[in-house]
Amino acid sequence: MARILITGGAGFIGSHLCERFLEDGDDVICMDNFRTSTPDNIAHLFANRRFMFIEQDVTTYIYVKGPVDAILHFASPASPVDYQELPIPTLKVGSLGTHKALGLAKEKNARFLLASTSEVYGDPLVHPQNEEYWGNVNPIGPRGVYDEAKRFAEALTMAYHRAHGVETRIVRIFNTHGPRMRLNDGRVVPNFVSQVLGGEPVTVYGDGSQTRSFCYVADLVEGIVRLLRSDYTGPVNCGNPQEVTILEFARTIIRLAGSKSAVVFRPLPEDDPKVRQPDITRARKLLGWEPRIGLEDGLRRTIQFFRDKLQPA
C-alpha cells in the first residue's frame, strides 16, 4: 500500500485518479485550490478514511506530513478557455508549481509523474506524433502560455531526474473525455455536447477538416497507472489513435444524442492545430497499454453524464 499525492486531484482527470488509487488500496492525498475544478468531483471520497484533502495553490511551498511514495502533478488549467483567461497562473503552475512538486518528491524520495500534454507538439509538422518529435510551437501566441508551461515542466522534470536522481515519469495526454468534465470547459467535447443537448447549433471552427483523437478517461487512467508503476523515465503518449475530423466528430455527437442540431462554422482560432493523433507504439511496447473503450461507447457515457447534469433537479 502506497501513499500518493495528486495535485489538481479535484479536476476532471485528477479525481478519477484519486478514485483509482483508493480502489487499489492506496492512501490518497488530494491537493487542489479549485481554480478550475470543483469539490463536487471528490465529495464522494471524503467518507473514505484513506482519503485526505489539502486545499492549496501548488505554486506556494508544499508541505505534507509523513511519507509520500508517489506524486502525480496534474495541477493546471487545461482548456483554451481557462488558460486564455488565466495566462499567468497557467505559466506559474507549470513552472513554480512543478518546481514545488519536484522539490517535495526529492525531499520524500517519491516517484514523480508529470501530466504533460499533446500540446507540447504544437501545430505538428509530423503526423502522427511520436515522442521523438520536438514540436512546432508558437511561444508568444495565445496558446503559448499552456504549451510552453508544459514544455518547461518537462524540462524541469528531466533536470531533477538527471541532477538529483528523482524517479520521474512523463505522460503526454491527448484529448480525453468522460464524466466530470466541466460543462463550460471550453474544449470541443463539452462544447459540442452542451450545444447538442441544449438544442443549439453546433459550432465548428474552420471548415471542420482539422483532426483530433479522443480517449475515454478510464482508458487514460489505466495508462497513467501503468506508466507510474513502470521503469521508464522518458515521455509516453497516452491517447486514442483513432483519428476523426472535427466535422465528423460533431455529426457523431449529434447522432448519438438523437439531436437535430445544425452545424455552424466560425473562423479558426489562431495557432489551432490542424492535426492531432498520438503514435502510441511506445505505450503498447513498454506498458502493454492501448485504449479499450471505443469512441462511440465512450461518447455515450459522456453524453449521459452531461444529460444528467443539465436536467433540472
- Determine phi and psi for 13, rounding to 5 degrees: -75, -40
The reply to whether 146 belongs to the active site is yes
Q: How far apart are CA 238 and CA 83, in angstroms?
A: 22
- Determine phi and psi for 49, rounding to 5 degrees: -65, -15
Residue type, 158: M
In terms of DSSP H, where are the helices of 95-174?
A: 98-108, 144-164
- Determine phi and psi for 142, rounding to 5 degrees: -65, -25
Query: Which member of 83, 121, 146, 216 is catalytic?
Result: 146
- Determine phi and psi for 263, rounding to 5 degrees: -105, 130
Q: Classify each residue of 65-81 as buried b or exposed e, where b means 16 or more C-beta atoms within 10 Å of its C-beta.
A: eeebebbbbbbbbbbbb
The crossing angle, in degrees rounded to 10, of helices 217-228 and 12-23 is: 60
Strands annotated E in the chain: 3-7, 27-32, 51-55, 70-73, 111-117, 168-173, 176-177, 202-205, 211-213, 215-216, 235-238, 243-245, 263-266
For the record, the C-alpha cell of 113 comes out as 509523474
Which region, left, alpha or beta, applies to residue 180 given φ > 0 means left and ψ of -120 to 50 means alpha?
left
**How many Cβ atoms sit within 10 Å of the Cβ of residue 64?**
18
Q: What residue has cell string 486514442?
A: 240
Determine the straight-line distance between the first and last CA of the chain, rounded to whole angstroms.
Answer: 40
For the record, the C-alpha cell of 135 comes out as 514540436
> Catalytic site residues?
146
